[in-house]
Chains A and B, each alone.
Chain A
Amino acid sequence: MKNLIDILDLSTEEIDQLIQTANDIIENPEKYSEKCRGKKLATLFFEPSTRTRLSFEAAMYELGGNVLGFSEAQSSSAAKGESVADTAKTISCYADIIAMRHPKEGAPLVASQKATVPVINAGDGGHNHPTQTLTDLLTIQREMHRLGNFTIGFCGDLKFGRTVHSLIAALSRYENIKVVLISPEELKLPSYVKKDILLKKGIEYRQTTDLESVMPQLDVLYMTRVQRERFFSEEEYLRLKDSYILTPEKLKNAKKELAIMHPLPRVNEISVAIDDDPRACYFKQVLNGKYIRMALILKLLEVE
C-alpha cells in the first residue's frame, strides 16, 4: 500500500495491523519517538482544518520527524492557478509523505497518481476522510475491545455526514454489526448508502426519529453535528440544527458501557454536562486520532 485515499483501500487485516501499532504506540511512546528522524511530512491544506492538520503534525513530531506545508489555499501555488498534479510532483521533491485536504472531491486521488511519495487523504470536500474513520475504529476497538458484535446508533445529520457513511462502510466488513439510524426525516441516510452497503452486506438496521426509544439497545452512540456549510438556506439549517441534543436525561436508559462518540467539532448537540460522564469518548477520540495517524505514517513510510 502506497497511499490512503479511501478507507476501503485498506483490508480489515491492514486496519487490524494499524490498530495494533497504534495501541503499541500508546503503551510505549518512547519506542517510537525517533522512528521518523530525518523524515518530512508535508501538510497541504487547501482549506482550513485546524484539528486534522494539527493531529497530523503532532503525529509526525512525536515520531521524531519534521513538518512543512500550508494551511489554506491562499498561501499555496493553487492561488496562482497551479494544478493539484503539479503541486503533488513539486512537493514530492521536498517531503517524504503528503497529507492533503482539499475542498474538491477526488483531489487527493489526483495527487496520489502524480506524487512520487505516499499521499494521505486528509479530507476531500464531502467525500472521504479515511483517517477520521481509522480514528473511529481505533476508538471503538479500545472502548469495546472488539470490532464486531455490537449495536451502533448514528444520530443527527446522516445525509451529509461523510464520517457516518465512511464508518458504516468500514464496519460493514465486520461480523454481526447492527445499525440504528436516528435522524430527522430531512437528514436521513441517503438511499444509495442503504442500498450499496447495508442491504448489500445484509446488515440489520432500523431507522427512527426518536433517540430515547432506542437508547437502551446501543453499545456505541455516534453523534454528529448538523453542518451549516451543507445547507443552502440558513432557515432550514436553523430549523434542523437542534433536532437532537444529547443531555444527561436522555442517557437515563443507556447502557453503563455505552461509548459516546463524536467526530467534533460539536456545536450544541452534546451538552457539556456529559463531558465528565465516563461514557463520553469524544476527546479520547481526538487523542486516538493522533496515534492512528502515527501508525499510518509509519506504515506508509515502511518504517519498521
Chain B
Amino acid sequence: MRKDTTFDGRRWHDMGGTAAGPVPTEQHDFALWEKRVDALMIIASGKGHFTVDGLRRVLEDMGEEAFETMTYYERWIASVNQNLIEAGVYTTAELAQRMSKVAARGPTYGEATCD
C-alpha cells in the first residue's frame, strides 16, 4: 500500500501516474450476489434515489484501505447502502434488523436468500 507522508494535492483514488506493479491477469466470474449489487445500483440511481456521484463519494471516502481489502462489489454494496440510508429510503435500524434476520436463515448465500 502506498504510504504518502506529504500531501501532493490529490486523494488516494486519483492514482493516474503513480507507480505500481504489473497489471494482474486474473479474472473471476461475477457471482449472482455481485450482479444483484450492480442491478440495485442501476435501478435505485435510475429512479433518482441517488446519483453515480453519490456512489463515488462514498467509495472515495471509504479510503485506500477499503480499496485494498474489500472486493469491488463489496465496496459498491457498502456505498449503495450508505446512499439509500442518506436518501431516507430505510433507516439504519431497519437495515440492522433485516441483516440479523438474513443471517439467521442459514450459513450460505443460497440459504440466506429467500426468493
A binds B: no
Question: Which residue numbers of B lie inside 8 Å of A, CB to CB?
Answer: none
